[in-house]
Structure 1
Amino acid sequence: MRWTRPAPGGATGKAGRRPAGRTLSMAAGLRDLGLNAVTGLAALALLVPVAVGAALAPVTGSRVAPPARVLGLARRLAAFQRRWANRVLSREGGADGGVSPPAGPGTRRTLLWLAVHSVAGPAPLVATCAMLTALDYVFFRMRPMDTSTLNTFAMSMSIVAIAAVILLSVALFRTGQARLARLLLDPARAADTRIRELTASRAAVVDARAAELRRIERDLHDGAQAKLIAIRMHLALARSCGDPDERLQVIDEAREIAGQALTDLRDLVRGIHPPVLADRGLTGAIEASALLCPVPVALDFDLPGRPQPPVESAVYFAAAEALTNVTRHSGASRAWVRLRHTVGVLRLTVGDDGRGGARRDAGTGLRGIENRLSVFDGSLTLSSPLGGPTELIMEIPCALSSPKISHS
C-alpha cells in the first residue's frame, strides 16, 4: 500500500528528473524508522563516554572535555542525520525543504542532539512494532476463526484500516524525526533566532541612546547654557555700569552663576561616567551609591577583578537605578546588594523587604535597566510577590581584566 500526494500540473516532472509525485511506501517508511533506530543507538553509544566524563568531573576536580574522537564521530553522525532530514523534508516540499548551509552545529548542539536522538531515534520503531503486535493480538488472536463471507469482509476492512493507521503513523514519525533533527542540528535556525534577538537589542540600544542624548541636551539647555547666557548678560551690564560698587556687585553675581554652571556641568559628566567609578572601581562606586540611599543597604561583594569599562558603567547605573527605585517605591526598612562573578557571568542582585508588587510595565525604571543590560547580552530577572521581598537579578556575561581595587 502506498500513500500518494500528486504534484500540481501532472504526475511526472521534466525529463531527466524524478517524478513530481511524492510517495511513501510502508517498506520505505519502516526502513527510515529502522535507520533512525540504528543512529539512535549509535548516538547512545557515543553519549556514554561523555556522560561518564561529566560524572567523574566532580571527583577529579577538573572540567573533563569530551574526547576528540567521540566528538569527531558525533559530528559525522550528526552530518549524516542532517542530510537524511534534508532529503525527507525536501521530498515533502514546503519551507522546510532545501539544503542546509554547509556549516555544522557547535559542540553543545551536537551533544544535545546525541542526548535527544538516543531516545527519539529508536522510540518510533519500538512504538510501531508495539502497535503492530497489539493490533495483531486484538484482531487475529483474541477472535475465533470464522470463514463466513460477512466475517471475511469485516476482517479485510479491518486489515485495510490497520494498514492505513500504521502507514499514517509511520509517515508522522518519519516527518517528526526529520523536523527534530533540523531543529537541533541546523545552525541557520539558531542564527535566525540570534539575529532576531540582536535586532531587538539594537533597537533597544538606539532608543536608550536617543533618550540619553535628549536628557543631556535638555540638561545643557536648561542648566549650563542658561547660566552661561546669564553670565554674559551680567558681564555686559558690568561693562556699561558707571558705579564701581554696582559693577563689583554685578561681577560677583556673574562669578556665582559661573560656579553654578560649573556644578551643573560636573553633575552632567557624573551622569555620563562617574569619576568614582574610574577611581574606585565598580564595588567602590556601588558602595558610594548605597551610602547616599536613605534605606540601610547591606553590601556583599566578591569581585576578584574588574570588568571592562562599558560593562562597569552599565552595571553601576543599573545598581543606582535599582536603589533609587527602592527609595521611591518600595517602602522598605532595609535593602541588600550582592555582586558576584562566577563562570564568566557577572551577577548583581538588588533586593529589599518592602511591599513588593513591582512590575516591568509599571514604569520606565526597570525597562531602562533592561535596555542597559541588553547591550551586553545581559538579562534581568524580577521577583516581587505582593508583600515582598523584591529582588532584581541582573546578569551580564563578561571577563575580568585586572586585579581587584581595594577601596578600604
Structure 2
Amino acid sequence: MDDEPTLEIGTSADEVVADAPGAVPWAPPGRFKLTLYAGAHLLMVLPTLLFFVLSVVGGVLSIAWVGLPVLFLFVPASRWIATRHRNLAAAILGTPVPADYRPVPEGTHLPNRIAIYALDPMTWRDLAWMLVSLTAGFVLSLLTFLLLVVIVTGALWWYGAEPIMRARARLDRALLSYGTTDRLEQRVQVLTETRASSIDHSAAEMRRIERDLHDGAQARLVAVGMSLGLAESLFETDPERAQQLVSDARAATSGALGDLRSVVRGIHPPVLADRGIGGAVEALALDMPIPVTVMQYLPGRPPAPVESAMYFAVAECLANVGKHSGAQRAWVDLRHADGVLTAKVGDDGAGGADPARGTGMTGVMRRLSAFDGTMRVSSPERGPTLITLEVPCALSSPKTTPSSPKG
C-alpha cells in the first residue's frame, strides 16, 4: 500500500518476514522455520500493542479533531504490522492472504483520508485482529517458542509446533482477509451497482443517439423532402429554380449521410470492427495534436462488447490528454496477460488529474465496471500522468499484430 510507512521492528523479525512470502513454489515450512515465525510474532507484539492503543485513542480524540493526526500516522502503521502477519500466515498455509483495503487516492487531504479509513471494513477487522493477536495469538506463538527452548518439552514441540502454528495462521487469516461468504456478498453488491450503472449509461446513450438523429440526420432529411416537394411544383413554371432546389436537396442528403455515419461511429466505429482495438487506437493516435506512441501485444481479439468499452475508455483518456494535460507526448500500451486486457495511457503533462472532478473519467469507470473492469489513476502534480485500465476477458482468433509507434 502506498500509505504504509517503512518501519523497523528488529532485524530478526524483518529477516523472517522477508523470507515468508516469495515467488518460489510453496513448500510446507519445517518445525524450526515455524518456530522462527513464532519468534517473529513475539517480536511484533509490542508494536502491535502500541499501534492498537494509539489507534483507539486517536479514534476517541478525533471527535474533537485532536486525534486526526494520530489516526493519520497509526492506522497505516497498524496496516503495516497486519500485512507482516498476512505474509507469515500465507507462508505457513501456502495460500494468499490478501489485504483488501480500500484504495486511498494520492493527494487525499487528512479529513478525507481518515473518512476512507473509517468507512473501510478492513480497518475494523484489523482492530479486532490486533485484540485477538495480543491474547490468543500471543499465547499460541509463545507456546510454540517455549516448547522448543524448554528441553523437557522437546517431544511436545516436535509434534505440536505445526498444528499450533497452523491454528495461529488460520486465526490471522480469518480476521485479516475476507472469507468466501464476505467476498460473495461484496461481489453481489458490486454487481448490483454496476448493473444499475450500466442501465443508466445505456439509457443515456439511447437519449444521445435519439438527440443526434433528431437534430442532425432527421432535420436534414425533412429539409430534403421540403426542397424536393417545392422543386416538383416549380418544374413547369421555373425549371432553373427547381433544378437549384434539387441540387440543394442532394447536398443536404450528403450532409444527412455524414450525420448518420457520425452516429454509427459513436455506437461502434467501423475501424474498430475492421482492425480491432489495436488498429482503432492507432487511428485515434493519428488524430491527436501531439505525438502518441501506441504499443500493442495482443495475440487475439477480446469480445466485441469489451473491445468497444476499452476503445471508448482509451478515447476519453486521450481526449483528456489533448484538452487538459499540456503534454508534449503521450503513449498507449495495450496488452493481454493472465486473462486481463490492460491499457495504460500516459503523458508527460502537468499532472493533477482527478477522476472526481470530471464526468469523462467517471464515464470511463462506469463503462468498464459493467465488465468487472477497473481504472487506476496516478497523476501527481507536475506529472507524469498514468491511467491504467483493466478488464478481465479471454481473447479469440489468435493473430499477431505488430507495434506501430507514432512520433
Coarse TM-score class (shorter-chain normalised)? 0.5 to 0.7
C-alpha deviations, 1:49-73, integer Å up to 9, x for none?
Answer: x999x7248xxxxxx9xxxxxxxxx
Residue 95 of structure 2 is matched in structure 1 by 111
| Local SS of the residue matching 1:387 | coil
Contact conserved, 2:297 with 2:401, CA < 8 A, in 1? no
Residue 361 of structure 2 is matched in structure 1 by 366
1:195 to 188, 191, 201: 188
| Local SS of the residue matching 1:111 | coil
Amino acid at match of 1:294: P
Residue 385 of structure 1 is matched in structure 2 by 380
Question: In the alignment, does 2:224 pair up with 1:236?
Answer: no
> In the TM superposition, what are the counterparts of 1:84-163 in structure 2 within 5 Å?
111-112=95-96, 123-126=137-140
Contact conserved, 2:298 with 2:336, CA < 8 A, in 1? yes
Residue 23 of structure 1 is matched in structure 2 by none
Residue 206 of structure 2 is matched in structure 1 by 213
Q: Aligned partners of 1:301 and 1:309: how far apart in 2? A: 17
> In the TM superposition, what are the counterparts of 1:307-318 in structure 2 within 5 Å?
307-318=302-313
C-alpha deviations, 1:253-296, integer Å up to 9, x for none?
Answer: 01110110011001110111111111111111100010001111
Alpha carbons of structure 1 residues 182 and 372: separation in structure 2 relative to 1, 3 Å: same
Question: In the alignment, does 2:262 pair up with 1:293?
Answer: no
Q: Cα RMSD over matched residues?
A: 3.5
Amino acid at match of 2:183: A
| Local SS of the residue matching 2:289 | coil
Q: Aligned partners of 1:321 and 1:299: how far apart in 2? A: 15
Alpha carbons of structure 1 residues 185 and 390: separation in structure 2 relative to 1, 3 Å: closer
Question: In the alignment, does 2:69 pair up with 1:55?
Answer: no
Contact conserved, 2:298 with 2:334, CA < 8 A, in 1? yes
Question: In the alignment, does 2:236 pair up with 1:267?
Answer: no
C-alpha deviations, 1:31-52, integer Å up to 9, x for none?
Answer: xxxxxxxxxxxxxxxxxxx999
Aligned-residue offset at 1:352 = 0.8
Aligned-residue offset at 1:316 = 0.9
C-alpha deviations, 1:93-131, integer Å up to 9, x for none?
Answer: xxxxxxxxxxxxxxxx993479xx9x969724347879x
1:252 to 247, 256, 280: 247
What percent identity do the matched residue pairs reach?
50
Aligned-residue offset at 1:375 = 1.0
| Local SS of the residue matching 1:403 | coil
Residue 351 of structure 1 is matched in structure 2 by 346
Task: Give ranges in structure 2 of 5+ residues lacking alignment.
Answer: 1-19, 28-92, 99-128, 145-166
Give the total of aligned pairs: 263
Contact conserved, 2:97 with 2:176, CA < 8 A, in 1? no
Alpha carbons of structure 1 residues 384 and 178: separation in structure 2 relative to 1, 3 Å: closer
Alpha carbons of structure 1 residues 339 and 228: separation in structure 2 relative to 1, 3 Å: same
Aligned-residue offset at 1:397 = 0.9
Aligned-residue offset at 1:363 = 1.3
* TM-score of the pair, normalised by structure 1: 0.58
Residue 60 of structure 1 is matched in structure 2 by none
C-alpha deviations, 1:126-160, integer Å up to 9, x for none?
Answer: 47879xxxxxxxxxxxxxxxxxxxxxxxxxxxxxx
Q: Aligned partners of 2:261 and 2:379: how far apart in 1? A: 36
Alpha carbons of structure 1 residues 322 and 182: separation in structure 2 relative to 1, 3 Å: closer
Alpha carbons of structure 1 residues 353 and 112: separation in structure 2 relative to 1, 3 Å: closer
Alpha carbons of structure 1 residues 181 and 383: separation in structure 2 relative to 1, 3 Å: closer
Contact conserved, 1:281 with 1:405, CA < 8 A, in 2? no
Q: Aligned partners of 1:337 and 1:252: how far apart in 2? A: 45
Task: Give ranges in structure 1 of 5+ residues lacking alignment.
Answer: 1-49, 58-63, 65-108, 131-173
Aligned-residue offset at 1:208 = 1.4
Q: Aligned partners of 2:171 and 2:347: how far apart in 1? A: 50
Aligned-residue offset at 1:185 = 7.7
Aligned-residue offset at 1:377 = 0.3
2:331 to 333, 336, 339: 336
Amino acid at match of 1:380: M
Contact conserved, 1:280 with 1:405, CA < 8 A, in 2? no
| Local SS of the residue matching 2:389 | strand
Contact conserved, 1:113 with 1:181, CA < 8 A, in 2? no
Residue 224 of structure 1 is matched in structure 2 by 217
Contact conserved, 1:237 with 1:250, CA < 8 A, in 2? yes
Aligned-residue offset at 1:347 = 0.9
Q: Aligned partners of 2:139 and 2:96: how far apart in 1? A: 21
The structure having more radius of gyration, on CA atoms, is: 1
| Local SS of the residue matching 2:391 | strand
Contact conserved, 2:345 with 2:386, CA < 8 A, in 1? yes
Aligned-residue offset at 1:240 = 1.4
Contact conserved, 1:345 with 1:395, CA < 8 A, in 2? yes
Contact conserved, 1:183 with 1:189, CA < 8 A, in 2? no
Alpha carbons of structure 1 residues 129 and 280: separation in structure 2 relative to 1, 3 Å: closer
